[in-house]
């Protein structure tokens, strides 16, 4: 239980640092802190280094699937076009 409390405390400190970096406008620091938070979760809570090989395969598969979802989600904003609508009277 102490181990979980330590990792939770680390995540809270990283969250505070990430919020401070975002408020200061330091974009790269936010990304680095987010990666550190992921590492704390994967190495601390999941203990992926001591997990069976099948768990590692599923974790990598989940990461691959997340990459696909983020890539497809970002395509929406990249491919969206602006359509200008001229004066249209919508009041009956």
Q: Spell out the residues 6+ positions from residue 40 whose beta carbon is closer than 8 angstroms to its own.
A: 7, 10, 11, 14
d(CA 46, CA 6): 14
- Look at residue 91 and tell me if it is in a domain: no
- Look at residue 25 and tell me if it is in a domain: yes
d(CA 70, CA 23): 24
Quote the number of domains for the chain.
2
Range of the domain at 28: 1-50
- Look at residue 22 and tell me if it is in a domain: yes
Tell me the pLDDT band of 76, cut-offs 50, 70 and 90: confident
Over the stretch 12-65, which tens digit does the pLDDT of each residue have?
A: 999 999 999 999 999 899 999 999 999 999 999 899 999 999 999 999 999 999
- DSSP states along 2-71: HHHHHHHHHHHHHHHHHHHHHHHT-HHHHHHHHHHHHHIIIIIIS-GGGS-HHHHHHHHHHHHHHHHHHH
Residues 26, 28, 30, CA angle at the centre, nearest 5°?
75
């Amino acid at each position: 239980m102490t181990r979980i409390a330590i990792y939770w405390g680390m995540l809270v400190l990283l969250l505070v640092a990430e919020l401070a970096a975002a408020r200061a406008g330091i974009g790269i620091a936010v990304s680095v802190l987010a990666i550190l938070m992921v590492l704390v979760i994967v190495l601390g809570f999941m203990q992926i280094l001591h997990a069976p090989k099948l768990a590692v395969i599923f974790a990598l598969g989940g990461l691959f699937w997340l990459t696909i979802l983020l890539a497809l989600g970002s395509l929406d904003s990249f491919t969206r076009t602006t359509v200008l609508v001229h004066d249209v009277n919508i009041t009956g």
